[in-house]
A and B are shown apart, each in its own frame.
Chain A
């Protein structure tokens, strides 16, 4: 077992680099789980989406308060000071999707039937704006209807009528086939795992292979009394052992952090998919290890490969936000299929064969990639031995 032990020693020596990736992964996952705390969980009842807005009013009248109350049904108000820079920042960094400002004298003019408008500053064309616009216009148009047709209505009476009208709400039926489905959200951890796992596998395995591929060392090893087959087998065993441990650690971390979903069937398939990806990662690392010649090049090549694959395949930026051309290129890379499978699994509600078939297909594609990488790597090694 000398070779196996040596491999473990090499890994131990590189532990600090590997731990950085684990640390980053855990930090990322915690941030995601914290920021998704407010995300709508699928429940039995329909919940209305709320969007964050800033509501600045130059006056405090029943009409304006009524409008604010109505907006409160679909919006969370953020308390922001009325300073241009703070408001600009809040919009730019999307703390609020719009800022509604009621100019002074709005109520008076509105009640007189004059032409008035409130001011809205927003992220252009965003969907949540449509939502806010609908509500504001609804409130004020209904108020206008009363002013026109209801004789001698006072402001208080108007607001009261509006309140009782606007209490009307249409019923919503939520038709999920499986309300137990809680896989949504877990795909974030598993998608990001592609980056961590690939980084750990690449750095770990290439450093093992680099050490063994040094010319003098190789020559020395070849004249040792150890059976070359046993040596190769130990090497393979050490690499596989390392890969499985790395995979297990990543999976355990993501399950611990999102423990609420740990027992859903979606999680099972996500874990299975990540195992298929691990095998593919071993293939990539094996190929990289047989191509790379020294330590300095290793770090730069590895970083570019990992970041490149992760970026274009939708690990950092969700796939639905990527351009079609980028996705087309990415579909020639295994990470793309891993991420796609994760996203599909997270949406699954039923687990019959017809629903699972495309997912198994994507896993098979990853395994096929693994096979291709191994084949190329073997050719490369053969070539090098000839030289």
Chain B
């Protein structure tokens, strides 16, 4: 009996193009869009040398110190500025055409001219401040002991870097992978559309097909389990294909724990299908209403898990941690993220346990609602 129901159900489901589209094609298409648009997202804040100009004047040409300092920071691989020396009119024109972020006047005093406030402009100002402040320090020192004049240039040239970079975590700080983790989490929960059909097709008051199945001499729970396993197998196959697509085609880094990544996908798929079944059993309204409830809950969860805007996830985790524990999409996305980012598995384990609790809740809820249902008339 199992084989008979399973096989026919399998055929039935794979021929339902719309469900296959939403549970399989849609996440893949979405991941492609993510891939095309996110390729530069982690490079957006990378420092690039700032384009500046300095106004050419007698004062500037004769101010050897300032010229040397400015030229020093404008040469080499890790230079701060791309420097142009220009006349006052040219510099103003360059600024107007947004070819430079600002220009420096030296006559009568050092001064910065910009068009707007921003990080690049602030860095230029910081540099100029730096020069003035060192100058002031030198004056203070010389006024105390003029004899130090000849030691000064050696001391000034002995510029030290007082910062040691410490790597933050084993993984890179790229934000891009997180979008894909939340995407695959959403895809897992999209399994609810399959679960929805499973319950709809055995509730005799919903569809004629279900009425026919109810009249057949097979135990209802068995029918349900057999056909649900077809749904689950299909969805697992879809999710694993999506995972393979992300890993091998889009080259998304899932960390090194491949086994756990697959396990999470399976758990997610199971939770998704059972969620659909649960809602379908719980809500006694038309199919459209059930679909609307499923879509809106899954999309809200995805949004709160940071699929559209990662800051949301962080804000919620920090301020309303409870909300992040009752959100299956977030639990899944966070599991993938923990595997990628953290050294220990404790957070991953916690996520997975809560997720499985959800699955148990959905399954037992469905069972309690669907069992022993009898219809006086149809």
Interface residues of A (CB under 8 A from B): 16, 20, 31, 35, 40, 42-43, 46-49, 51, 74, 85, 87-89, 91-95, 99, 101, 116-131, 133-138, 140-142, 144-146, 148-151, 161-162, 164-166, 168-177, 296-297, 300, 303-304, 307-308, 311-312, 316-317, 320-323, 326
Contact = CB atoms under 8 A, between A and B. Distances in A.
Given A95-B314, A125-B46, A307-B30, A146 B137 contact: yes
A170 B95 contact: no
A124 B292 CA distance: 43
Contacts of B310: 93
A87, A93, A137, A144: residue with the most chain B Cβ atoms closer than 10 Å: A93
21 contacts: A31-B309, A46-B125, A48-B117, A49-B122, A74-B126, A88-B341, A92-B175, A124-B173, A134-B127, A136-B163, A138-B130, A146-B137, A150-B145, A165-B136, A168-B135, A172-B114, A173-B112, A173-B114, A296-B18, A311-B36, A322-B40
Given A48-B117, A146-B141, A296-B18, A126 B169 contact: no
A321 B44 contact: yes
B290 interface: no
B89 interface: no
Contact of A149 (B36, B39, B47, B148): B148
Nearest to A311: B33
Interface stretch (B149-157, B181-189, B258-266): B149-157
B132 A88 contact: no
A142 B112 CA distance: 23
**Which 9 pairs between the two chains have the least Cβ-Cβ distance?**
A93-B314, A170-B128, A311-B33, A117-B164, A49-B122, A127-B47, A165-B136, A140-B162, A168-B132
B72 to A, nearest CB: 14
B163 A46 contact: no
A138 B133 contact: yes
Given A168-B133, A300-B21, A308-B33, A74 B173 contact: no
Nearest to A92: B173
B42 to A, nearest CB: 9
Q: Name the prevailing secondary structure of the B interface residues.
A: helix
Contacts of A137: 159-163
Given A120-B164, A323-B39, A131 B122 contact: yes
A135 B96 CA distance: 29
B22 to A, nearest CB: 7
A49 B118 contact: yes
Interface of B: 18, 21-22, 26, 29-30, 33-34, 36-41, 44-48, 80, 92, 95-96, 109-123, 125-138, 140-141, 144-145, 148, 151-152, 155-156, 158-169, 173, 175, 292, 296, 308-311, 313-314, 317, 341-342, 347
A134 B21 contact: no
Contacts of B127: 134
Contacts of B114: 46, 172-175
Nearest to B104: A170
A137 B163 CA distance: 8
Contacts of A176: 115-116
B111 A171 contact: yes
A40 B125 CA distance: 17
Contact of A312 (B29, B36, B132, B347): B36
Given A131-B119, A140-B160, A308-B29, 17 more contacts: A40-B118, A46-B114, A92-B175, A121-B168, A127-B45, A130-B80, A145-B141, A149-B155, A164-B136, A166-B129, A169-B129, A172-B112, A174-B114, A300-B26, A311-B37, A322-B40, A326-B36
Nearest to B96: A177
A322 B37 contact: yes
A326 B137 CA distance: 52
Contacts of B39: 322-323, 326
